[in-house]
Amino acid sequence: MSVLIYEKKDKVGYITLNRPPLNTMSRELSRALISTLHDMDNDPDIFVGVITGTGERSFCAGADLTDVEHTEASEEWEADYVWRLTSVKKPLIAAVNGYCLGAGFTLALACDIRLASEKASFGTPDQKLNTIDCYASLMLSRLIPASVAMEILMTGDRISAQEAYRVGLVNRVVPSAELVPSAEVLAQKICGNGPLALWACKELNKRARTMSLEDGLCLFKSLTGPILKSEDTKEGITAFFEKRPPIWKCK
């Protein structure tokens, strides 16, 4: 059985973590995930990625502690895992279908948009094992109120999908049966926009968190100059005046 399922449809890449019942993150799964994300990022026919887990119980319940590889340089593995997840250029949507903990929480946080089923829950129980969740520790207080982030980090307790929505961690909560279809609708809406512009928006948003406005404006000019001269920009303007959907070529 493959630990990961990858399907392509209508410019969207669908990645499903496939280690039931909890879809825990083994080293094998992490390698397959990173490899698939790399391939997707370099595929001109894919504009958006959607990530979910097999079943309704768990998106990813954290690192697989039974994996003998997990005891080998865990801190290096996690740092590399975070680096590669956050280096993806294309928009990513997390369709969180259940437990979203530890390494799974990291994966969801690294996505640009998060949808959750009513059964989803989020957290970082690492501290209960005297381990440290790398990305949540670094980024959670930049995504939600700092006091809420610190309570999650300090207690190791999970929060519900409804609470995650209330504090702004997820974009919306939907019934389980509507989770992937909702992600598909959102992905198709994103696909209607210029892919080069989307990639630039993501890069600007990510790097602006640690940049001054002046540096951000310099980055904006360097990123957008070539895009504004691209074939896609000409096509977008032409399609607007001709009142038709644009045909993007990523050029």
Query: Does CATH number 3.90.226.10 belong to domain 4-191?
Result: yes
Please report, for residues 86, 148, 245, the alpha-carbon distance to residue 236 in angstroms, rounded to integers and kept in the order given. 28, 42, 8
Tens-place pLDDT, residues 71-97: 676 788 888 999 999 999 999 999 999
Residue 29 and residue 15 in contact, taking contact as beta carbons nearer than 8 Å: no
How far CA 68 is from CA of 26, 32, 230, in Å, comes to 9, 17, 49
| Domain extents in the chain | 4-191, 195-241
Q: How many CA atoms lie within 13 A of 30 on its CB side?
A: 24
pLDDT (tens digit, 9 = 90+) per residue, 145-196? 999 999 999 999 999 999 999 999 999 999 999 999 999 999 999 999 999 9
**pTM of this prediction exceeds 0.85:** yes
Q: Which fold has domain 195-241?
A: Lyase 2-enoyl-coa Hydratase; Chain  A, domain 2 (1.10.12)
The answer to whether residue 231 scores a pLDDT higher than 90 is yes
Q: Give the span between the Cα atoms of 125 and 59, in whole angstroms.
A: 15
